[in-house]
Amino acid sequence: MIEVDQLSKEYGDVTAVDGVSFRAERGQILGFLGPNGAGKTTTMRMLTCYLPPSAGTASVDGYDVVDESMEVRRRIGYLPESPPVYMDMTVDAYLGFVARIKGVPTNQMRARIDETMEKTGVAHVRSNVIGHLSKGYRQRVGLAQALVHNPSVLILDEPTVGLDPKQIIEIREVIKSLRGEHTIVLSTHILPEVSMTCEKVVIISQGRIVGEGSPESLTAQLKESDVLHAQVLGPVEAVGEALRSIDGVLDARQEGDDSQADSWVISVTPGQDVRDAVSRAIIDGGFSLRELRSQDMSLEDIFLRLTTEETTV
């Protein structure tokens, strides 16, 4: 379990993290979503006792990251953005080293290492030198390193960055398979990753939390306008004119490139169903209506909206 309360970090005059608060329950996967430079890594470094907070508190399983740092460190597994591996070591020797400094008892070490290698799928490269492994395998070794002492909390900083699509899917599968056993915090700037793997999302931008909730509730809560998709055949300007003149329509614009010139995206005041009015307007205008459907906002839209709004404030 992780509790973060009004956590801040300042580097000189720059505020990297500004009063961040959130909770992650036992067994939950929490996605930490934000653009580059939003303060994700800094927050994670504070959670892992690498950096002290300038203000606020954070605790892992009830232990404070500043006052009970050693207890916290025993309970967390941490995968920084680039896996902290020694290139000249074999996978086996490396995991043995990490298990020892993480305090795994000597008689359980062999079993822990084998189990971890099995889970992360690196057992067959155990005697390879890490420097000779592909980026994907190094990432798995990094994940194995974070898991080897069976921590209750896993903190993964951009675990899929720099991998090819196949490797990304594999790493995600590994992370999902850990659900329930560990509390997991994973940061990413890739949206589908969050909706695919996480039960809870915290969106952070410029050091502040700008949205929080399940992927579904975020979509509902932050929907400021509904969106309709329509396929209309007819002269572009005349169709746009007709659509925009409908009561309740905020804007209408063409979607995509020329090949889809007949696709329209219509923004609508929320809570108002204007589908009838839209179809009538199109038919009355002498155009033909091919398709009309309403669309929920994707997490990506929310993300873009939230983070861009934040910068305009």
How far apart are the C-alpha atoms of 20 and 139, rounded to whole Å?
28
How far apart are the C-alpha atoms of 211 and 221, rounded to whole Å?
9
* Closest C-alpha among 241, 227, 199 to residue 302: 227
- Contact with other proteins (CB under 8 A): which of 3, 15, 89, 190? 89
| 92 and 160 Cβ atoms separated by less than 8 Å | no
Contacts of residue 292, defined as CB under 8 A and 6 or more positions apart, other chains included, come to 228, 229, 230, 231, 275, 278, 279
* 52 touching other proteins, by CB under 8 A: yes
* 76 touching other proteins, by CB under 8 A: yes
Q: How far is the CB of 13 from other proteins (least distance, A)?
A: 9
* 84 touching other proteins, by CB under 8 A: yes
Q: How far is the CB of 104 from other proteins (least distance, A)?
A: 10
- Contact with other proteins (CB under 8 A): which of 19, 27, 80, 234? 80
- Contact with other proteins (CB under 8 A): which of 37, 67, 70, 180? 70
* 48 touching other proteins, by CB under 8 A: yes
- Interacting positions 242-261 with other proteins (CB under 8 A): none
Helices (runs of H) and strands (runs of E) counted in the chain:
11, 14
Candidates 79-87, 189-197, 255-263, 290-298 — which segment interacts with other proteins by CB under 8 A?
Answer: 79-87
3-state secondary structure of 129: strand
- Interacting positions 130-189 with other proteins (CB under 8 A): 145
Order of all β-strands in the sheet with 55-60: 14-24, 2-11, 55-60, 63-64
Neighbours of 297 (CB within 10 A): 19
Cβ closest to other proteins, residue 103 vs residue 256: 103
Site string for other proteins, 185-214 (x = CB under 8 A): ------------------------------
- Contact with other proteins (CB under 8 A): which of 36, 101, 165, 258? 101
Neighbours of 199 (CB within 10 A): 16
- Contact with other proteins (CB under 8 A): which of 25, 55, 62, 86? 86
Residue type (1 letter), 103: G
- Contact with other proteins (CB under 8 A): which of 15, 82, 263, 279? 82
Contacts of residue 181, defined as CB under 8 A and 6 or more positions apart, other chains included, come to 27
Return residues touching other proteins (CB under 8 A): 10-12, 45, 48-52, 70, 73-74, 76, 78, 80-89, 93, 97-98, 100-103, 145
